[in-house]
């Protein structure tokens, strides 16, 4: 499934770019809430972290039903699901967490447009996380769903082996720090903030790519460069489409609040919101730069062509008259027939004179082009 | 009438594209509510499905008056009309369902801009459905009108043989499932959702077309490619024009609600609304990509032209001086007249020397062009 | 005055396009409400239709004062003025209808930006009507002003011989139908609707022009095509400028209502409003298509140029080396002086060898170009 | 100081265009309210018109203090200041009219962005007036500030010799008409309306320029044409920047009203507001046309180049093979050495045959190009 | 650290432009509020100015704790921190001023998007200051943070040696003027106004650059020009990104006010707000001009290419037929074999006739091209 979304800007146009994800949709006329399970995907792996400021417990490879006992306690329970390959487990999960059938379908049928659903006793947040492998600069989008309920948070990802949340898991296990002293709403913030921060390194990568392309366009414009510019425009459109709804979701959350989110956590979400604006600002600038690069390319190529044309014109224009003169005296008119027939051929100074005329023409034309600035 | 709206992206520029539908309009100065019947269109075929959770009845080829008895019952009645070819039947239908003359005219005079009309005892929804025949990738737009009243729903389509709603009819007849347990408002949702979901496969088709064109533009830019890009821009504009009002209609419905629509059904319409946003987002991206493709095309062609020019310039520039020299020694000045007249011709090493000079010029120019990067 | 606004898309660039009307304005520093009468314009011709559901009377060539008696009755009076050539009559008209000096100036100093003025006892609507003569596809804009008062409607047009309202006059005289049973507000709706519907045939004409140009651009791009595209962009901008304010005016009217307009008539104005949106939607699409056509043109021409260049390059590149070889053996070095001087000339197989080498070069280059795809 | 803002569209690129005014700004870190006096500017010349419907008095060359006596009366006093060259007088003026230090600085440090300041007992309006000298089509922007207080209006302009307000002064002195019967708020309207109306003739001039350029681009595209198009875009941007805030100011004034402005004067300001919208509409259309002209230019030039290329290709392609054949039989292979060496030279019909072949080739190629449509 | 943001428009494409700052961001998954200290940066240098209208004291090189005594007094204390190189000092500062951990992180982790945070007892303003060194036209962005509390203002900059605030420090020490008589809110205004005014000279510089480029593009378009235009677009995008949020912040402040800001100071902030609008207006115009310049460049190059092509075509087309004729009579057909073989060679007037034909062709073609306007 990774391959389905991955995009490698460097391999274009050989490999087919896939970051431009088409959202999943049900077949027209199908039952609302139908699942579209990718059989080859991994089965859900359910892990659970139960904690408060004093206490920490980790359980892995649970079934949905095994989670129930943890959910009723006053400690914060983070149920961490990875993998969407098994319909039965996912349905069971939906029942344990009392999810609306449409919500569950949105969680399972990846990718969806990021959205925020405000039910009275639960808050559903579906977002897109971005990650890149630095070596070959591949970029993936992966859907992450958060379901916040009283004292518990359910997160569902597409794959079990995720790295981006590992630092949060570490902080939870090792320290009795900030997260452990807060409720599930703060955990939601920390994880969502991690998702949003995952856009920054990718943005930086695109910034570098654009700078490389700027130099490339001015130095060696080629078809490959063009393909790369188009590819970057495409990727930036996709990234904007996945981050832009998150900004709106955060603004809604900050403005309206939610019964499950404490006032002091809202301050943190505001910081999150600022980050989404920063990302969108930067994406917008990159898009304008990428468009400007396309214009730049066209202008650079036109400029090169103009130089080539000028060289051709200079060489042709100088030599064409000379070659004509040479051709003229290569004609075989018989000078012996009359004195009008090419008498020059028998002049004593005919040849030097001819060379002199040629030289004069060449010099005159060179001066003319030099004055026109075509020789610089 | 199918032909009037059909559009085949592949046959351009041979066939005339028609998806860019001009909305129907009355002749200036005509009576408000006048019908414009296409005589060649099919007569309306009226079918009726009457159901509740316990009971299911199907009646076909009814007259409008025969529907009346079903409408007064407490069971949900879906009156399903296809074909707009007969004015009298349509007028009768309007009377049975107490439609405003302007509303009836909008239903009959297809195509109209999608619209939502909120009368106290009825909700009128006019939308555009899209369908494509996968083999030759033709795309049609067809108008569907919904009139929701207490315990009954009237749908009017342009043609009787529609496929897109068949899956809903099947679900109604076979199962006692979700639809059968809800009222007419839920049926409206299910059908409208089907209409909106009909855009997704078409979008996917355009996504594939754009990808094919991207490869084509970089590999073999031709006039046919250009025509296709322009055609796609045109189709995307039409699709946006037909889906965009539906988004606004759904937002209005969700925000204001309606006496005929239950609170819990609103949740489903929200899902519908999300889908329209997804479609519009994707259309927007496709449009930007199509515009970028046109720029790409221009740049690729300029690039190719530059390469052609460089080759021509290299060949010309190398051979023009050589040909001049050859012409020079083809002149017929008489070397016997004086010792200044082409004495080279009688030198023992004249010819090898001449060849050597030519070779030297050719090599020097080749090195010059190689340094300039024109030979790569 | 017709000529001042007329625009013929087909005669460009010979005739000067005038649809891009500059709004009339007073001289800076002149008295507010000053008239700018075009002396050559026709004198106002005042006709009056007085009617209710039972009764119908037609009077023509009235003076403004003669209208007064009709206005005080309970029957609906439609005072229909055409022609703006006489200041005194217009002033008198203003007094009879108690028009604000600035309003009267706006009615007289055509063209004005469409506007809606809401005075307590009168509603002023100034709009632009469009009409085209189908034979030579000329398009005119003409200003129409409506002043709605209790039981009477004053309409002022630029010319007396107008066709577009004739169908309404006919309906009024012949039938006792819908219009005759309503008040002056309904008459206003019917006339304004006629004005708005007058845009549809013109839009259709532009739609056809764009389709013709699409084919022309791909088949035979020429300077005339370019001029036509630019002209269409220009006309569409003008049309949008004249219809766009009408949309806003209708929205204001629907939202705020007016004491002179009954609730049930508002429903009809909503229909009118939908039409303006349809028109603007279509104009917007046409404008994007026209812009895309300009890009298309550039790309088609670049493509053509590339083909020309390739042909030139192929022919030149093949023949230049051959001509050089021919020139080489046309040199007159004396083979008798030494055995190094062009001994090939005296070889028995010199000439066939030379031809063979030429053929080999030509074939090799042809294969090279065929591989590069330049010969297709 | 006039020269600093003047712009001559016709003299470009020789003269430096200055209509793109950079707003004046204080040096970073300077005291708020600091004056930036242009020493070379003219000293303020203070004139005063004191009037009511019965009475009219004119006083010129006053000092600010001399104005005080007029201000306290119930008659309307128009204090008309021109010239910004003397700091002391301006400070004194500020004290007499009780201006806020920042307001006074805005009046003095021209040019400023147009702005409306609503103080309880005074209304400050700062706008940009435009004027053109018709002969050489130069355009200037000049700042005008209005300070409306009870029974008095202070206007400050950059230069004493202004023409645009002269017609108002004349009307005040000569007639006892409309202005004389109103208060200072009506005078403000009349003057501001004059300022806004000053944009119309300039707009008309740009409309004519664009039409001239349209014809020029299609007929004789040159670098000078390009420079003019760019210059027009630049000027239109500047004009929009100076008129656009005035629209917002008028909207604010109409919506919120002001204690110093009577209800009936608001109606006049609405008319003013309509004019600003007309101007902005027209500017927007002109800007789109100017952008379209740049595209047109590029397409026209490409088209011309294509024609040149086609001619070159036709001539070259026809003559290159012929010249090659001529060169072939100019070779000096010795026909006497063997019967393979150029026996054609000694054929009786060799020369006519050769000419025939050449003619055949020329005709064949001509037909080929004629079929391709390159000879039209 | 200066180098990290500096941008020199003149050195492009040699030096890498850095004004397009990527905002600092925390590593995904890191603890909220983590510092990212640049070890090479300077240590914070803390200076303090304590004043009221009567009293002035200056203390430098303080520790955060040493500031505490000043803060509790009723005099205004300006704590002026420059340099971000030492984590411990910054943390201590955060405690002394009771800053929220996220706020402190935003102050330290430069650059951030400008933002306004409204805490009850403190107002946090983070902005970007711009400065240019006039000699080589380099532009820097530097972050400045303001924390306004009752009777005290904390400002934090990236470097201790700042010039832009020096004029304010001077005014504070020397005079008992305006600032000394106001509270800390007025000081905030003065400093922020200084920050905003710092954009004006930079704007002027870009205005000059654009004018230079306009002349350059029309006179000598080259690749370097192109690079500079792209660079300017890039810089303007960055500047807009740093000033645009400040406009929104000021609007929020003016609309909502703050308990720490007096009513009369709000008037000053309004002036500040006007300045940001002026800056954004001008940036917008510059951006449009820069885009137009790119189009201009392309058109100028196309125009030049067209001229080159025309010259080449004229020269080639005139000489190619002549050279062909010369070649024709250079053929070696034996006139002695038959009377059909090149009898012209032995005509008495053969050569003059041939020259005459050549001249006629040259003149005919020259007239043709002159008529086509290619010789002008």
Domain presence at residue C294: yes
Phi, psi of A366 (to 5 degrees): -60, -45
Contact assignment for B168 to A29 by CB distance below 8 Å: yes
| Interface with chain B: mutation pick from C265, C272, C327, C354, highest number of B CBs within 10 Å | C327
Chains that touch E (3 or more CB pairs under 8 A): A, D
Between CA D217 and CA C230 the distance in angstroms is: 11
E1-17 pLDDT, tens digit each: 223 333 333 333 333 34
E327 → closest Cβ in D301, D302, D330: D330
3-class secondary structure, A130: strand
D212-236 pLDDT, tens digit each: 999 899 888 888 888 899 989 989 9
Contact assignment for E292 to D344 by CB distance below 8 Å: no
Omega of the bond prior to B13 within 30 degrees of 0, cis? yes
Q: Can you give the pLDDT at residue A254? A: 92
DSSP-assigned letter for residue C344? G
User: Residue C362 above 90 pLDDT?
Assistant: yes
C221-261 pLDDT, tens digit each: 888 888 899 989 989 998 998 999 999 999 999 998 899 99
Note whether E136 and E188 are within 8 A (CB).
Answer: no
Residue D334 CB partners (closer than 8 Å, separation 6+): C345, C346, C350, D341
Q: What angle do CA B286, B291, B294 make, to 5 degrees?
A: 130
Last residue of one domain, picked from the residues A253, A282, A299: A299
Percentage of chain A exceeding pLDDT 70 = 90
Q: Which positions in chain D touch C102 (Cβ < 8 Å)?
A: 267-268, 271
Q: Which positions in chain B touch C211 (Cβ < 8 Å)?
A: 16
Q: Can you give the pLDDT at residue C120? A: 80
C268 → closest Cβ in B32, B332, B345: B32
Q: Can you give the pLDDT at residue A222? A: 86
Average pLDDT over residues B277-304: 91
E28 → closest Cβ in A198, A267, A303: A198
Average pLDDT over residues D129-149: 81
DSSP-assigned letter for residue A27? P
C69-122 pLDDT, tens digit each: 888 888 999 999 988 888 889 999 999 999 988 899 889 888 888 999 888 889
Are E210 and E336 part of one and the same domain?
Answer: no
- Looking at the DSSP assignment, which residues form a beta bridge with residue C50? C57, C77
E strand or H helix that includes residue A179: none
Its domain, for residue D330, covers 305-372
Helix axis angle for A184-197 and A263-328, nearest 10°, is 10
Q: Which two tokens stand for residue D163?
A: 């023409």
Q: Can you give the pLDDT at residue C223? A: 85
Q: In chain B, which residue ranges form alpha helices assigned H by DSSP?
A: 2-5, 64-71, 87-96, 101-108, 166-174, 184-197, 199-219, 223-256, 263-328, 350-371
Left if phi > 0, otherwise alpha if psi is -120 to 50, otherwise beta: which for E61? Answer: left
Between CA D314 and CA D305 the distance in angstroms is: 14
Half-sphere exposure of B76 (CA within 13 A, CB side): 22
A-chain residue closest to B297, CA distance: A226
Average pLDDT over residues C153-162: 84
Q: Can you give the pLDDT at residue C79? A: 92
Left if phi > 0, otherwise alpha if psi is -120 to 50, otherwise beta: which for E373? Answer: left
Contact assignment for C348 to D330 by CB distance below 8 Å: no
User: Residue E21 above 80 pLDDT?
Assistant: no
Q: Can you give the pLDDT at residue C357? A: 92
In our burial notation (b when 16+ CB lie closer than 10 A, e otherwise), range D103-120 reads bbbbbbbbbbbbbbbeee
Q: Can you give the pLDDT at residue D17? A: 41
B28 → closest Cβ in C198, C218, C327: C198
Average pLDDT over residues B271-279: 91
C-chain residue closest to B244, CA distance: C281
Looking at A143-147, C29-33, C84-88, D263-267, which range is the least confident one?
A: C29-33
Domain presence at residue B334: yes
Between CA E191 and CA E272 the distance in angstroms is: 11
Chains that touch C (3 or more CB pairs under 8 A): B, D
Are A80 and A26 part of one and the same domain?
Answer: yes
E strand or H helix that includes residue E108: helix E101-108
Q: In 3D, which of B138, B120, B103, B129 has the Cα closest to residue B32?
A: B103
Q: Can you give the pLDDT at residue D164? A: 78
Contact assignment for D351 to E332 by CB distance below 8 Å: no
Phi, psi of A79 (to 5 degrees): -90, 120
Last residue of one domain, picked from the residues D282, D299, D316: D299
Phi, psi of C246 (to 5 degrees): -65, -35
Looking at A337-341, B99-103, B188-192, which range is the least confident one?
A: A337-341
Average pLDDT over residues B259-277: 91
Q: Can you give the pLDDT at residue D337? A: 82
The DSSP result for B13-30, as a single string, is TTSPP--SPPPP-PPTTP
Between A17 and E373, residue with greater pLDDT: E373
Omega of the bond prior to C111 within 30 degrees of 0, cis? yes
User: Residue A25 above 80 pLDDT?
Assistant: no
Residue A21 confidence class, pLDDT cut points 50, 70, 90:
low
Q: What is the CA radius of gyration of chain E?
A: 35
CATH number for position C125: 3.30.460.20
Q: In 3D, which of D212, B229, B223 has the Cα closest to residue C221?
A: B223
Are E141 and E284 part of one and the same domain?
Answer: yes
Q: Can you give the pLDDT at residue C136? A: 66
3-class secondary structure, E371: helix
Q: Can you give the pLDDT at residue A376? A: 63
User: Residue D25 above 50 pLDDT?
Assistant: yes
Q: Which positions in chain C touch B346 (Cβ < 8 Å)?
A: 334, 337
Q: Can you give the pLDDT at residue C20? A: 52
Average pLDDT over residues C354-364: 93
Q: In 3D, which of B23, B80, B205 has the Cα closest to residue B130?
A: B205
Chains that touch B (3 or more CB pairs under 8 A): A, C
User: Residue A29 above 80 pLDDT?
Assistant: no
Q: Can you give the pLDDT at residue D21? A: 57
Contact assignment for C25 to D200 by CB distance below 8 Å: yes
Are D233 and D361 part of one and the same domain?
Answer: no
CATH number for position A307: 1.20.58.340
Residue A124 confidence class, pLDDT cut points 50, 70, 90:
very high
Average pLDDT over residues D55-61: 89
Last residue of one domain, picked from the residues C299, C319, C335: C299
Distance from CA of C90 to the nearest CA of B (A): 27
User: Residue D13 above 50 pLDDT?
Assistant: no
Are D92 and D69 part of one and the same domain?
Answer: yes
Average pLDDT over residues A308-326: 89
Are C294 and C311 part of one and the same domain?
Answer: no
Are A272 and A305 part of one and the same domain?
Answer: no
User: Residue C40 above 90 pLDDT?
Assistant: no
Residue B6 confidence class, pLDDT cut points 50, 70, 90:
very low
Chains that touch D (3 or more CB pairs under 8 A): C, E
Residue B34 confidence class, pLDDT cut points 50, 70, 90:
confident
Q: Which positions in chain E touch A165 (Cβ < 8 Å)?
A: 29
Q: Can you give the pLDDT at residue D20? A: 52
Distance from CA of C91 to the nearest CA of B (A): 30
Between E89 and C11, residue with greater pLDDT: E89
Q: Which positions in chain E touch A309 (Cβ < 8 Å)?
A: 305, 308-309, 312
Are D368 and D231 part of one and the same domain?
Answer: no
Are E252 and E219 part of one and the same domain?
Answer: yes
Are E208 and E324 part of one and the same domain?
Answer: no
- Alpha carbon B161 to chain centroid distance? 22
Distance from CA of A244 to the nearest CA of B (A): 11
A161-212 pLDDT, tens digit each: 666 788 888 888 887 667 888 899 999 999 999 999 889 888 888 988 998 9
Contact assignment for D102 to E178 by CB distance below 8 Å: no
User: Residue D10 above 60 pLDDT?
Assistant: no
Domain presence at residue C376: no
Q: What is the CA radius of gyration of chain B?
A: 35
Domain presence at residue C277: yes
Q: Can you give the pLDDT at residue C176? A: 61
D-chain residue closest to E274, CA distance: D113
User: Residue A138 above 80 pLDDT?
Assistant: no
B294-298, B337-341, D20-24 — which one is most confidently predicted on average? Answer: B294-298
Q: Which positions in chain D touch C322 (Cβ < 8 Å)?
A: 324
Q: Can you give the pLDDT at residue E1? A: 27
Residue D170 confidence class, pLDDT cut points 50, 70, 90:
confident
Average pLDDT over residues C39-63: 88
Are B195 and B311 part of one and the same domain?
Answer: no
Residue A297 confidence class, pLDDT cut points 50, 70, 90:
very high
E-chain residue closest to D343, CA distance: E333
Average pLDDT over residues D121-129: 92
E330 → closest Cβ in A193, A194, A330: A330
Are D270 and D315 part of one and the same domain?
Answer: no
For chain A, what is the domain count?
2
B202-206, B361-365, D16-20 — which one is most confidently predicted on average? Answer: B361-365
D296-332 pLDDT, tens digit each: 999 999 888 888 888 888 888 899 999 999 888 888 8
Omega of the bond prior to B111 within 30 degrees of 0, cis? yes
């Amino acid at each position: 499934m990774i391959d389905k979304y991955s995009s490698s800007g460097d391999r274009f146009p050989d490999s087919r770019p896939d970051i431009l994800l088409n959202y999943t949709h049900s077949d027209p006329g199908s039952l609302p809430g139908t699942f579209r399970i990718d059989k080859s995907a991994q089965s859900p792996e359910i892990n659970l972290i139960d904690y408060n400021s004093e206490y920490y417990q980790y359980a892995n490879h649970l079934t949905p039903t095994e989670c129930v006992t943890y959910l009723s306690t006053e400690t914060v329970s983070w149920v961490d699901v990875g993998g969407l390959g098994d319909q039965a487990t996912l349905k069971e999960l939906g029942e344990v967490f009392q999810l609306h059938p449409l919500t569950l379908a949105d969680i399972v049928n990846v990718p969806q447009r990021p959205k925020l659903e405000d039910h009275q006793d639960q808050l559903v947040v579906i977002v897109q996380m971005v990650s890149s492998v630095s070596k070959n600069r591949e970029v993936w989008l992966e859907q992450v769903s958060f379901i916040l309920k009283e004292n518990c948070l359910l997160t569902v990802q597409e794959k079990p082996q995720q790295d981006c949340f590992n630092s949060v898991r570490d902080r939870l296990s090792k320290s009795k720090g900030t997260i452990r002293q807060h409720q599930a709403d703060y955990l939601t913030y920390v994880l969502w903030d991690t998702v949003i921060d995952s856009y920054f390194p990718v943005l930086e990568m695109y910034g570098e790519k654009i700078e490389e392309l700027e130099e490339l366009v001015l130095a060696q414009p080629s078809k490959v460069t063009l393909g790369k510019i188009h590819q970057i425009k495409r990727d930036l459109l996709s990234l904007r489409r996945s981050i832009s709804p998150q900004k709106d979701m955060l603004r809604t959350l900050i403005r309206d609040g939610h019964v499950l989110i404490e006032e002091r956590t809202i301050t943190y979400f505001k910081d999150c919101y600022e980050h989404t604006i920063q990302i969108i600002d930067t994406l917008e600038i990159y898009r304008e730069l990428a468009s400007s690069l396309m214009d730049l390319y066209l202008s650079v190529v036109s400029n090169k062509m103009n130089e080539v044309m000028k060289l051709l014109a200079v060489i042709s224009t100088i030599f064409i008259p000379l070659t004509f003169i040479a051709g003229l005296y290569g004609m075989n008119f018989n000078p012996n027939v009359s004195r009008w027939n090419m008498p020059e051929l028998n002049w004593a100074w005919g040849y030097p004179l001819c060379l002199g005329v040629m030289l004069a023409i060449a010099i005159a034309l060179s001066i003319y082009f030099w004055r026109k600035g075509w020789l610089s």
